[in-house]
Amino acid sequence: MSTEIKKKKITTNNIFEEVWNNPMKKPYLEKLVLNIGVGAGGEELERAFAVLKSITGREPKKMLSKKNVKEFNLRKGRPIGVKVTIRGEEAEKLLKRLLIVHNNRMLKKSFDNYGNFGFGIVEHITIPGVEYDNLIGIWGLDVCGRIIRPGMRIKYRRAHRAKIPKHHYVSKDEAYYFLEKFFKAKIVDKMEIEYF
């Protein structure tokens, strides 16, 4: 990394630190959503349900299909996947566990300009604290997270909703810095296999 890029990175990081002195501007991890799309109900769905329960210790929710797709034998209203949402300190602890799977690395393209990020886990047994079960098998899952600032509730509350100005959303660069600082994540352009 050249000295100019390093200097630029340090100055942007200092800008974020200055902005975060204001308590209404300091971002935090709002939630983590873990999702397994099965595509069909029955026994497979129950296994996916058990996987998410073993990872989070929470009761997952079954997701229903929104339309009929004849080719995939899907009917509207049938359960086709499971998801679980984790918030607060529990979400922070879980994210630290999930990042270990990729050696604390995340791709730059996994972020958007609104503080959202996501990554996939190919085998759930690579998550620390999860053991292999013959009856369940091996499952992959999607992890989506959201970093926001205080005050974002006004966009979603029932009464007196209001628009959020663009500068109140967490930008890509700020999300990178947030995860690097609080979760020791390394933001990379390309995932390369690391040998130990």
Measured CA to CA, the distance from residue 56 to residue 108 in angstroms comes to: 26
pLDDT digits (tens, 9 = 90+) for 124-179: 999 998 888 888 889 999 999 999 999 999 999 999 999 999 999 999 999 999 99
Which of 123-134 are b and which e, b meaning 16 or more Cβ less than 10 Å from the residue's Cβ? Answer: ebeebeeeeeee
47 band by pLDDT with thresholds 50, 70 and 90: very high
- On the question of pLDDT at 6 being above 70, the answer is no
The string of DSSP letters for 120-188 reads: EES-GGGSTT----TTT----EEEEEEEE-TTGGGGT-SSS--PPPGGGSPPHHHHHHHHHHHH--EEE
pLDDT digits (tens, 9 = 90+) for 65-92: 888 888 877 788 888 899 999 999 999 9
Task: Tell me which architecture the domain covering 27-188 has in CATH.
Answer: 2-Layer Sandwich (3.30)
pLDDT attached to residue 7: 60
pTM: 0.86
Strands 116-121 and 105-107: unpaired
pLDDT attached to residue 2: 61
Amino acid at 43: E
The helix/strand count (H/E) of the chain reads as 4, 7
Partners of 146 in beta bridges: 31, 116
Q: CA 69, 73, 78, 81: dihedral to nearest 10 degrees?
A: -90
Average pLDDT over the chain reads 89
Gyration radius of the chain over CA positions: 19
Q: Which two tokens stand for residue 107?
A: 């791709």
